[in-house]
Amino acid sequence: MKTIAVYPGSFDPITNGHLDIIERGVKMFDELIVLVAFNPKKPALFTVTERQEMIHGVITSQLGAEGGRIRVDSYSGLLINYAQDNNAGIILRGLRAVSDFEYEFQMALMNRKMSREVETVFLMTGYKWFYTASNMIKEAASFGGSVSGLVPESVEKELLKKYAEKREDVCL
Ligand code: PNS
């Protein structure tokens, strides 16, 4: 039986920390679905399609043959339903510094309450990305700060473009 894992997140946008989890996760499972999911607590900067395209582009350009076992998808409903409908027995999440723990623990327990057939597996984020969070990256980029090295180059370009568009909207 194939082991299918789903790696859900807002990915607004994908960071090098996410990419690290994808690269390591794909080695552990037969198939990895990177899922742009809906987090009602986070207003998004990029559209779902833009986020999917960025993830797809990064996987295609930065991962070798292993990229062939990765699927990028999006979903606006309950994660556990998506996992079950797609025969994914694993939810993969990255764990950064202590601040992530409580939220991740609650989410894993809630998902486990809804289905005991789906296990949440955590990978410790690589030490270089311990403090890399999309929110911080967006805040820095919105004020013109450099986020080079924290996100793939293609994503950095998209961030610059997005904030330039926003500034234009304000000026008009
Ligand atoms: O990258 P994020 O924002 O920390 O990811 C959180 C996400 C999108 C995985 C989470 O909000 C989610 O699972 N959303 C889908 C709705 C759902 O199933 N919520 C969990 C109920 S506990």
Residue 122 CA to ligand 1 centre (angstroms) = 15
Q: Whole-angstrom Cα distance, residue 114 to residue 37?
A: 17
Structure tokens at 15: 């960071």
Residue 9 CA to ligand 1 centre (angstroms) = 6
User: What is the distance in angstroms between the CA of the first residue and the CA of the last residue of the chain?
Assistant: 57
* Ligand 1, pocket-test mutation among 6, 7, 10, 46, most atoms within 8 A of CB: 10
pLDDT tens digits along 61-107:
999 888 899 999 999 999 999 999 999 999 999 998 887 899 999 99
Mean pLDDT throughout 39-56? Answer: 96
The answer to whether residue 56 scores a pLDDT higher than 80 is: yes
Look at ligand 1, atom 13, and give the residue with the nearest C-alpha.
79
Q: How confident is the model at residue 122 (pLDDT cuts 50, 70, 90)?
A: very high
pLDDT in the model for residue 169: 72
- 70-75 and 31-37: which strand pairing? parallel
Active site residues: 18, 42, 96, 134
Mean pLDDT throughout 111-119? Answer: 98
The answer to whether residue 171 scores a pLDDT higher than 80 is: no
Look at ligand 1, atom 6, and give the residue with the nearest C-alpha.
9
161 lines ligand 1 (CB under 6 A): no
For domain 4-130, give the fold: Rossmann fold (3.40.50)
Q: Where are the domains of the chain?
A: 4-130
Mean pLDDT throughout 47-52? Answer: 98
Residue 21 CA to ligand 1 centre (angstroms) = 17
Q: How confident is the model at residue 20 (pLDDT cuts 50, 70, 90)?
A: very high
pLDDT tens digits along 123-133:
999 888 888 89
pLDDT tens digits along 136-168:
999 999 998 999 999 999 999 999 999 988 877
Residue 78 CA to ligand 1 centre (angstroms) = 8
157 lines ligand 1 (CB under 6 A): no
pLDDT in the model for residue 97: 80
Mean pLDDT throughout 27-35? Answer: 97
Q: How confident is the model at residue 170 (pLDDT cuts 50, 70, 90)?
A: low
135 lines ligand 1 (CB under 6 A): no
Bridge partners, 151 (sequence order) = 148
How would you label 89-101 residue by residue, b for 16+ Cβ within 10 Å and e otherwise?
bbbbbbebeeebe
Choose between 168 and 33: higher pLDDT. Answer: 33
* In contact, 151 and 16? CB cutoff 8 Å: yes
